[in-house]
Amino acid sequence: MMYPRLKLARNLLSDDGVIFISIGTVEQENLSRLFDEIFGENNRVGIVPVIMNLKGNQDAYGFADTHEYVLIYGKSKDNLDFGRLPIDDEEMNDWLEDEYGLYKVADNLRATGVNAPRSKRPNLWYPIFVTSNDELYVNEDNEPLSSDDEIVMPINPEGEELSWYWGKATFNESKHNLIVKRTSNGTQFYRKQRPALGADNPTKKAKSVLFKPEYSSSTATTKLKDLLGGKLFDLPKPVPFIEDLISLRTNKDSIVLDFFSGSGTTAEAVFRKNISDDGNRNFILVQLPEQIPDGSNAKRAGYNVIPELARERIGKAGEQILKERPCEVGKLDIGFKDFELEKSNLKKWNTEPEDLVTMLGSIQDNLEPGSTEDDLVYEIMLKQGLELTLPIEKFIVGDANIYKIAFGSLFIVLGKNITSDAAKKIVEFIKDEELENVAVVLQDTGFANDSEKLNPIEILNASGVDYNDILSI
C-alpha cells in the first residue's frame, strides 16, 4: 500500500520539498527501508521520536510506549533549507536586545571538543586584547596597542592551550556579537545568538527528540471532542505537533499536502500557523471515503465516511479560531473547497448498434444523470490544466450561465438556450479588461440549432478569440 503512494509523493514534491510521516515503533524499520529506496538514504533528514503519551501505552509488550516516530526526508537534501521552531513565551525571557536587535547569551568563544586543542587548529590560537572600556581587538602581529590592555588567550581553567571558534577575520566582522564576562576563571567571551537570518522573531533548532506537553494524544482527543461535540474520531494528531512540522519546512506561501488526512488536523494546523506569522499557506487534504463503523459515536451522529467528519471539523476549527482571534476576521482565510473523485460528467458516445437509438434520443442532454453545472465547470477546469482554487465568477445572460474563470483566461457557457448575447457579453469582458489568450467552452447541446451556434463562434473570433480556442462539449 505504501510503496506507490511514496513514489507519487516524491514526484509531487518541489525540489526543496520535504515529507514527514508518523509511524509506530513496530513498522518504523520497514518504512525507513522504503524511504531509503525511494528517496535515497542520503536524503534522510532524520528519524525522530515524538513523545505523545507520558503515561505510556500499558498494552505494549515489554515497555510502555511513550512515543512514535516521524520520518523526515527531502526530495534533494542539497536543495533543502531545513527550518527552525518558534520559541514560546517562557523562552522569550532569555532574550535581550541591543542596537543590533534581539540576542541571547550562547556558548563560550573558546572551543571545546576533540578539535579544540591548539595543536589541532594552530591558526585559531591567538590573543584577544581587551581595553579598559571592554573594547575588543586583534592584531596581525599579536601585540597589544597599549601595555594597559588585557591579553586573553584560549586557555581553559585546567591550563590547557585550546583555540577560538572564530578566526581573526570572523572576529573583526562579528565582535559586536561577543559579551565580555569577568569570572573566577578570568575574562571570558560569550557569543550572542541572533534570530535566524530573515526571521522576525527568535527561533530554535529542533531537538532529536520532539516533546511538548501540547503534543499529548489524549489532549488532542479532548480538544477534537470539544470542537465536534462528542468523541467522534480515535487518535487524532495533535494540532501543535503538525503546526511545528509546518514551521520546520514551509514558507509563508507554501502548499501543504496531507494524503492521509483523517480528521483534517493539518487544515487546522495551517490556519493556526498562518495566524502566527501572517502567512498565506494553502493545504490540500486527501482522504479515501473510508466507511465509519456501525455503532460508533460518529455513525450515530450522522457521519457515514471519514471525509464528512473532516469537512465538519475544518469548518468548525476555522470558526473557533476567529472567535478566539476576532482581530483576524477578514484577514485569515478559513475557506476551503471540497471535491470528490467521480467519473466524467459527460456521457460517452457508444457506437454499439443496440445502444445507438438510445444515444441519439438522448443527445439533447450530453450530461450524465445527477451531474450539476458546478461539477462540469470543475471538470473542464481540470481538463484545461487550471487549478481548482482559481476564482470563478458567474453571470446570467438570458437562459445561459457564463462562468468566468481565472480572471478571464477561460469562459464556460452552459444552458438550454444559448444565444449570441452570451458571446457579446464575453466580448465586453475581453475589451473592458484587455484580456488576451482567452479560451471559451460552449455547451454544444445548449444551442437551438447549428446557425445559432455559428453566430456566437463568429462573434468571438472577430473579437480576437482564435477558432482553436473555442471548444464545444
Q: How does pLDDT run along the chain (473 residues), one tens digit per residue? A: 788 889 989 999 999 999 999 998 889 999 999 999 999 999 999 999 999 988 888 877 788 888 999 999 999 998 888 888 888 777 888 889 899 888 999 999 999 999 999 999 999 999 999 999 999 999 999 999 999 999 999 999 999 999 999 999 999 999 999 999 999 989 999 999 888 765 667 888 899 999 999 999 999 999 999 999 999 998 899 999 999 999 998 999 999 999 999 999 999 999 999 998 889 999 999 999 999 999 999 999 999 999 999 999 999 999 999 999 888 877 888 999 998 888 888 766 544 544 444 433 444 466 777 788 888 899 999 888 898 889 999 999 998 999 999 999 999 999 888 889 999 999 999 999 999 999 999 988 888 777 778 899 999 999 999 988 888 88
- CB atoms under 10 Å from CB of 306, counted, come to 20
Amino acid at 281: R
Q: In sequence order, what are the residues at sequence separation of 6 or more whose Cβ sits closer than 8 angstroms to the Cβ of residue 434? A: none
Q: Which phi and psi angles does 189 have, rounded to 5°?
A: -115, 125
| Rounded Cα distance, 339 and 307, in Å | 10
Sheet hosting strand 470-472, strand order edge to edge: 392-397, 400-405, 410-415, 439-442, 470-472
Q: In sequence order, what are the residues at sequence separation of 6 or more whose Cβ sits closer than 8 angstroms to the Cβ of residue 103? A: 95, 96, 97, 177, 192, 193, 194
Q: What pTM did the predictor assign?
A: 0.74
- What is the per-residue DSSP string for 237-285? PPHHHHHHHHHHT--TT-EEEESS-TTTHHHHHHHHHHHHHT---EEEE
| C-beta separation of 71 from 236 below 8 A | no
DSSP code for 231: -
